[in-house]
């Protein structure tokens, strides 16, 4: 940081190095004067007070000094500086400048009279971190007027500053590092900007500098002096010899180090820009970077690679005000928006690292001429019913004299087509032969030797007409308590440019004075004030012009707004105050504001000092029941009312306290520690609301979650307890209530706590659903898990209750069993398992499968011929089969169906064997059988193949070849004795016994047989059949043979009797 030069103290002031300045007389009449000493930022100014003491003042400040005898008080000047008195417009200034031979203060400074500054605030100390050294240029300014003797420092100066450029290298310089230089320059720039703002705000003389005999250059409103070496006027910003000055002269000389001075010299060595491609409104400026070749020698300063440039342009002469139009790093720029046929002067200024050089010489150029600017629209100067007189002003001719003006109009047709009605140099024209109230559009253009300008904006003017028509009634735009804002529109058919005035008349109903004018003017709106609240007023409007007045509009009626009502009376309690409620009432305000009270609003705050007001009621009635209150609490209540006029202020507050009650609910008890399988430890806190009385007892109730049957497990004054004898893995609900002297309060919310987990509970008996005779669906429910989730279930199934087998293990809640036997009793049970263990089995459930069709018939086989006792059986036409009775599956077998070929199945009864007859001999049959019951037919049995035998032989003819009284010899067939041994035919001889049955007498191959031991004279029936390997043939017809009588025995005693001799005669069959 740059070092601060020491301020002047008392010792320095009294030393011989500082001379005392005797200020000359600055007032011709010798009257009392006030001298203002401008102290800039970073400066120090020392004065001697009346008591002889010295006082050091640091800037920024303006120090007023009183001169009772018209002379300037003594000012102490540092060594190396000398005072210089400058007079300008009758005002004398004392300038402290260095003692340099090149300094000529009289010819290079333009000063301006400064107005008297306003009263200033007290002393503001200079910032301690401000780096620049103090300046030693003070500008005492004398002026008439009374002012206090104390100093009045300020940050902004009210002076007008100019610019002073010093090219001399003989001025004193204060060497400091580059960082201090840059910081100082930034602060000076900020001060300059603030002073410029203050200058714009105050009434100052014109900013253009006054002419003086000395040759000076002015650019951008700043004064450039050629020989003002080291002299800065006002707030100075020293860069490359450039200074800024104003009405207050700053006498400080900035000192720069050698490097900064070298950069300034380099940046100042820049040639003026070159203007090219000059047009009427554009020009191209080009320039070259600063040259390091100065005065025939090469500057040893390091040349920067990149500069920034400012282009300054003036259109008021080389010494006129310059304006920055470009700032950048390019070396060429195109300037646009220039004025045609105008002389311009351009300078370029180089800058590097916040160091600026002196602007170059001015490059002068003149833009080309062109057609005139677009003129302003013509305005109407006079109008009658049949004519319009228009006037206009000449636009800028852009370097060529205007030759003519061209006025065009649309002839009142309104079709957008224009034709010329005037062309010449006159600046007005009268259009005649028009109709009354006729509207016409006009536009104007100007012409010079370079061409014709564009047309102006179109304007629409009407000729004079008749008196206005009746306007529409005024409308209300906004209403207040004591005012009404009205608005109306022009009468229909009125030209837009016709001057119409309006009279607004008002009548108050109760006044009895009728309508009186309230407004007369050209505006279309008016606010009638000083009215009474909530009062009706009638209005009408009249339009008039130079031709006369219109009829009044229709009368309308508007009402002012009511005012807000007054404050309601303080509310009061009505009836008894209860623990949770009380009723309040209140009276209406004395002043309702001119409107009916629409509603009342009651607000309530809890606590004697509560500031949170909540609205508890809004309505038209004047009493309210305040309920849902807390017992033993203090409440404040207030009321305000609302009408059409607004909202009143709130009333006074009413303080009410509710009586105490049993305590409020406690927070739910909480678990302390980890739960055990059969024990839980609880803890709780007091209730939030004690009901206005201390708590002395607590009660804890418990109930299972699935049953709402609470029972008390603890009562006492402690805030914890242990609950025992619980079930593992069960969830219990606990609730708590507290008691005070008023009794127990309400229970808290329930707190559900689960004991340590255990195996699942016993499952409910499973539900068995038989889907068919061989399929069953078993379902079961989830049991109580006792704190852990059930992971799987085990299902046991069996036909015997004591010997069931596990048929399923998994997480499902159902299982389907297949392959069951119909009409069979089965038993099942289910068990739940968790990570803790297995629960007990459920109760055993028995189920019976429904009956079904019979089972398949088994053991279907052929019956051998030897086992057949049926006499009608013929192996050639019959097949005998047998089978075993199948399981009837719960429904009795009613029949069997035998399938043995293409014929329809043969239905038989409840038998296990059957002879199929009427078959074809020597034929193979495929036979299967199925059982039938009331539910249907069972499956067929396996198939067997059986073959009938060939037909047996026919029976032979039977003959009796010999007979006696005891025997008969029978013969059949034609067989010979030789053929008897080889013949495969067997014969079966049968005789009828006394019971009428045929019994077998002989079976064999012989053709004869002797029947013996017969009775004499007796007839016997015989039949025969032939048999071979095919089977037994049919029985023959019955043959009857009779035995003769035997010879009588010898007579022992002959007696006379009748003799009968029997004669045997064969029957016809024989």
| Most trustworthy range by pLDDT among 233-237, 259-263, 833-837 | 833-837
Examine the domain organization and report whether 188 and 278 are in the same domain.
Answer: no
Look at 633 and 129; give whichever has higher pLDDT.
Answer: 633
CA distance 848 to 776: 10
Same domain, 125 and 62: yes
Q: What interhelical angle do 258-268 and 178-201 show, nearest 10?
A: 60
Confidence bin at 1056 (pLDDT 50/70/90): low
Q: Which of 898, 924, 947 is the C-terminal boundary of a domain?
A: 947
* Same-domain check for residues 221 and 151: yes
Asked if 803 and 749 sit in the same domain, the reply is no
Average pLDDT over residues 552-562: 92
CATH number of the domain that residue 334 is part of: 2.60.40.10
Give the separation between CA 596 and CA 583, rounded to whole angstroms: 24
Please enumerate in sequence order all residues whose Cβ is within 8 A of that of 47, keeping only pairs 6 or more positions apart, or say none: 54, 55, 57, 63, 65, 73, 75, 151
The pLDDT of residue 209 is above 50: no
User: Comparing 985 with 975, which gets the higher pLDDT?
Assistant: 985
Residue 763, pLDDT score: 93
Assign 758 a pLDDT band (cuts: 50, 70, 90).
confident
Report the mean per-residue pLDDT for the chain. 77
- Higher pLDDT: 90 or 314? It is 314
The SS3 call for residue 345 is strand
Top pLDDT among 833 and 1031 is at 833
Question: What pLDDT, on a 0 to 100 scale, did the predictor assign at position 866?
Answer: 79
Q: Is the pLDDT of residue 770 over 60?
A: yes
Question: What is the model's pLDDT at position 594?
Answer: 86
In a domain, 780, yes or no: yes
Residue 147 and residue 49 in one domain: yes
What is the pTM assigned to this prediction? 0.32
List 721's β-bridge partners, or say none.
Answer: 682
- pLDDT over 60 at 856, yes or no: yes
Flag whether 4 is in a domain.
Answer: no
Q: How confident is the model at residue 462 (pLDDT cuts 50, 70, 90)?
A: confident
Tokens of 820: 């069951």
- Asked if residue 582 and residue 546 are part of one domain, the reply reads no
Please name which of 711, 761, 714 lies closest in space to residue 732, comparing C-alpha atoms: 711
Q: Is 449 part of a structural domain of the chain?
A: yes
For residue 552, is it within any domain? yes
Question: Average pLDDT, stretch 760-771?
Answer: 91
Domain check: are 1027 and 891 in the same one? no
The predicted model gives 418-437 an average pLDDT of: 91
Q: What is the pLDDT of residue 67?
A: 61
Residue 425 inside a domain? The answer is yes
Average pLDDT for residues 333-341, to the nearest whole number? 92
Top pLDDT among 224 and 376 is at 376
* Spatial contact of 477 and 486, defined as CB atoms under 8 Å apart: yes
User: Given 922, 947, 972, which residue is the final one in a domain?
Assistant: 947
Whether 526 is in a domain gets the answer yes
Please indicate, yes or no, if residue 339 is contained in any of the structural domains: yes
pLDDT of residue 661: 84
Residue 155 and residue 76 share a domain: yes
Residues 739 and 820 in one domain: no
Residue 264 sits at φ, ψ, to 5 deg, of -65, -40
783, 816, 848: which is the final residue of a domain? 848
Are residues 115 and 31 part of one domain?
A: yes
Residue 513 and residue 446 in one domain: no
Q: Is the pLDDT of residue 253 over 80?
A: no
Which secondary-structure segment (H or E) carries 180? helix 178-201
Predicted confidence band of residue 236 (pLDDT cuts 50, 70, 90): very low
Which structural domain range is residue 335 located in? 264-366
Q: Which residues of 324-340 are buried (b: 16+ CB within 10 A; e: fewer)?
A: ebbeeeeeebebeebeb
Q: In whole angstroms, how large is the CA radius of gyration of the chain?
A: 72
Kindly list the distances between the CA atom of residue 7 and the CA atoms of 11, 122, 1023, in Å, as whole numbers in the listed order.
Answer: 11, 20, 179
Q: How is residue 606 written in tokens?
A: 């809890």
Q: Is the pLDDT of residue 390 over 50?
A: yes
Residues 243 and 299 in one domain: no
- Number of structural domains (the chain) is 9
Does residue 513 fall inside a structural domain?
yes
CA 243/CA 248 separation, integer angstroms: 14
């Amino acid at each position: 940081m740059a070092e601060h030069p020491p301020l002047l103290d008392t010792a320095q002031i009294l030393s011989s190095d500082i001379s005392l300045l005797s200020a000359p007389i600055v007032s011709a009449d010798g009257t009392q004067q006030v001298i203002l000493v401008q102290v800039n930022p970073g400066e120090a100014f020392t004065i001697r007070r009346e008591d002889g003491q010295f006082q050091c003042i640091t800037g920024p400040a303006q120090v007023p000094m009183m001169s009772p005898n018209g002379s300037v008080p003594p000012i102490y000047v540092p060594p190396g500086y000398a005072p210089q008195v400058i007079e300008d417009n009758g005002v004398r200034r004392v300038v402290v400048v260095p003692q340099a031979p090149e300094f000529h203060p009289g010819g290079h400074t333009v000063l301006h009279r400064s107005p008297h500054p306003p009263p200033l605030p007290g002393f503001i100390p200079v910032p301690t971190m401000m780096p620049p050294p103090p300046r030693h240029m003070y500008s005492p300014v004398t002026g008439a007027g009374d002012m206090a003797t104390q100093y009045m420092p300020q940050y902004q100066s009210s002076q007008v500053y100019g610019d002073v450029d010093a090219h001399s290298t003989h001025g004193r310089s204060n060497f400091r590092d580059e960082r201090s230089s840059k910081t100082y320059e930034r602060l000076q720039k900020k001060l300059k900007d603030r002073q410029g703002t203050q200058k714009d705000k105050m009434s100052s003389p014109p900013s253009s500098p006054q002419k003086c005999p000395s040759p000076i250059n002015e650019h951008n409103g700043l004064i450039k002096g050629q020989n003002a070496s080291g002299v800065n006027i006002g707030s100075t910003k020293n860069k490359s010899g450039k200074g800024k000055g104003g009405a207050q002269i700053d006498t400080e000389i900035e000192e720069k180090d050698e490097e900064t001075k070298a950069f300034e010299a380099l940046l100042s060595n820049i040639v003026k820009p070159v203007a090219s491609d000059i047009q009427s409104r554009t020009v191209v400026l080009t320039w070259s970077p600063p040259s390091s070749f100065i005065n025939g020698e090469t500057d040893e300063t390091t040349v920067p690679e990149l500069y920034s440039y400012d282009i300054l342009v003036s259109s008021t002469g080389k010494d006129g005000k310059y304006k920055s139009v470009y700032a950048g790093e390019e070396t060429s720029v195109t300037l646009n928006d220039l004025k045609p046929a105008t002389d311009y002067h351009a300078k370029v200024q180089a800058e590097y690292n916040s160091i600026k050089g002196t602007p170059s010489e001015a490059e002068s150029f003149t833009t080309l001429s062109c057609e005139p600017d677009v003129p302003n629209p013509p305005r109407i100067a006079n109008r009658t019913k049949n004519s319009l007189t228009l006037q206009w002003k000449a636009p800028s001719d852009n370097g060529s004299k205007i030759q003519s003006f061209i006025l065009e109009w649309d002839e009142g047709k309104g079709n957008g087509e224009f034709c010329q009605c005037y062309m010449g140099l006159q600046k007005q024209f009268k259009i005649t032969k028009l109709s009354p109230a006729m509207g016409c559009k006009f536009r104007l253009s100007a012409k010079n030797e370079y061409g014709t300008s564009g047309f102006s904006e179109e304007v629409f003017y009407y000729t004079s007409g008749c008196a206005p028509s009746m306007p529409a009634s005024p409308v209300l735009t906004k209403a207040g308590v004591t005012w009404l804002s009205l608005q109306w529109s022009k009468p229909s058919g009125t030209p837009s440019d016709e001057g119409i005035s309006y009279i607004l008349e008002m009548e108050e109903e109760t006044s009895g004075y009728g309508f009186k004018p309230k407004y007369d003017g050209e505006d279309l709106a008016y606010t009638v004030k000083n009215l009474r609240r909530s009062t009706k007023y009638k209005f009408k409007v009249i339009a008039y012009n130079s031709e006369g007045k219109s009829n009044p509009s229709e009368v309308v009626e508007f009402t002012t707004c009511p005012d807000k009502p007054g404050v309601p009376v303080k509310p009061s309690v009505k009836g008894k105050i209860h623990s949770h409620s009380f009723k309040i009432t209140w009276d209406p305000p004395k002043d309702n504001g001119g409107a009916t009270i629409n509603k009342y609003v009651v607000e309530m705050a809890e606590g004697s000092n509560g500031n949170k007001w909540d609205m508890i009621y809004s309505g038209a009635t004047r009493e309210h029941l305040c309920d849902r209150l807390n017992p033993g609490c203090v409440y404040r209540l207030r009321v305000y009312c609302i009408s059409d006029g607004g909202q009143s202020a709130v009333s006074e507050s009413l303080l009410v306290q509710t009586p105490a009650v049993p305590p409020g609910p406690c927070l739910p008890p909480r678990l302390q520690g980890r739960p055990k399988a059969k024990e839980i430890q609880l803890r709780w806190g007091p209730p939030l609301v004690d009901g206005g009385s201390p708590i002395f007892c607590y009660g804890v109730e418990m109930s299972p979650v699935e049953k709402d049957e609470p029972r008390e497990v603890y009562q006492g004054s402690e805030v914890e307890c242990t609950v025992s004898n619980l079930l593992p893995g069960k969830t219990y609900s606990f609730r708590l209530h507290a008691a005070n002297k008023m009794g127990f309060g309400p229970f808290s919310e329930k707190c559900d706590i689960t004991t340590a987990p255990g195996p699942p509970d016993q499952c409910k008996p499973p539900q068995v659903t038989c889907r068919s005779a061989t399929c069953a669906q078993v379902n079961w429910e989830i049991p109580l898990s006792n704190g852990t989730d059930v992971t799987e279930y085990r299902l046991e199934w069996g036909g015997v209750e004591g010997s069931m087998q596990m048929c399923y293990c998994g997480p499902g809640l159902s299982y389907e069993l297949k392959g069951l036997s119909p009409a069979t009793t089965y038993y099942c049970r289910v068990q739940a398992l968790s990570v803790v263990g297995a629960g007990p089995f459920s109760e055993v459930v028995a189920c019976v499968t429904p009956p079904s069709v019979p089972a398949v018939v088994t053991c279907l086989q052929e019956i051998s011929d030897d086992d057949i006792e049926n006499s009608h059986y013929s192996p050639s036409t019959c097949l005998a089969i047998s089978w075993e009775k199948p399981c009837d599956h719960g429904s009795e077998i009613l029949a069997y169906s035998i399938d043995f070929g293409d014929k329809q199945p043969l239905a038989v009864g409840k038998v296990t064997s059957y002879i199929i007859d009427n078959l074809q001999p020597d034929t193979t049959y495929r036979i299967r059988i199925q059982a039938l019951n009331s539910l249907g037919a069972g499956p067929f049995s396996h198939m067997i193949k059986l073959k009938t035998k060939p037909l047996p032989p026919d029976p032979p003819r039977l003959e009796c070849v010999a007979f006696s009284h005891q025997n008969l010899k029978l013969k059949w067939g034609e067989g010979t004795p030789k053929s008897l041994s080889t013949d495969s035919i067997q014969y079966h001889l049968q005789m009828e016994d006394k019971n009428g049955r045929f019994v077998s007498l002989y079976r064999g191959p012989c053709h004869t047989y002797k029947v013996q031991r017969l009775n004499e004279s007796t007839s016997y029936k015989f039949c025969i059949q032939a048999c071979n390997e095919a089977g037994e043939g049919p029985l023959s017809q019955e043959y009857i043979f009779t035995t003769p009588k035997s010879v009588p025995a010898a007579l022992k005693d002959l007696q006379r009797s009748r003799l009968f001799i029997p004669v045997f005669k064969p029957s016809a069959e024989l």
